[in-house]
Structure 1
Amino acid sequence: MLVGLPRFIATVETAKHRTFQFLDASIAPDNMLVCIASADAFHLGVLSSHIHVVWALAAGGRLGVGNDPRFNKSRCFEPFPFPAPHPSKPPASATSPSNSTRTASANRPRMKR
């Protein structure tokens, strides 16, 4: 859910080159955008990393005349082994001291459903 976030991460569902970027919360995404409910730059960095792009190319499907890669949230995002942030710098979304012991899966940003 994107409600309450100042920005969110998005990528185009089908594209020759996989890029992720922040979009302002005032932008209403359409059905061709894959949205990740996180305003944290750590999550944008992981999703933009070489290892995630390679993972997404291998796990995702292909579509269209140019056989462009497709980012499928259930195959590219959900099974990706999302790393935990460095313990000396908790994620911006951490609001209580107990959050410093969260697992990597708990630190995963949410997909817009």
Structure 2
Amino acid sequence: MINKIEVSGIEVFAYHGCMNEESVLGGKYIVDTLLKTDFSKSAETDELADTIDYVQVRNIVVEEMAIRSKLIEHVAHRIITRFQKEFPSLIKAKVKVRKLNPPIQGVVKEVAVIIEG
């Protein structure tokens, strides 16, 4: 059976971007994750060890977002790669990284990248 676990709205302040100012000023980001797995065992056992730990999902996102990158595409790729390494029961993952109020011409609420793997 394939089930889904979502950990959404992970807010992080980070220093990503191609402009030097972004490495100094930083900005607000929101990360959403969708993890496909089979959690039928944990549904039966009620044991955290039998599923993907939401706390660990958040910690991976925070750790990878703390590593400065020019592109949020690169950050999203690192996050999904960590999920694949650290969650043996993971079947597929989707990560969305949103950069709020990006410093581009005009008023833009956010830009986002979505990666699946």
Q: Which has the higher helix share?
A: 2
Q: Which has the higher strand share?
A: 2
Question: Normalized against structure 1, the TM-score is what?
Answer: 0.34
Question: Normalized against structure 2, the TM-score is what?
Answer: 0.34
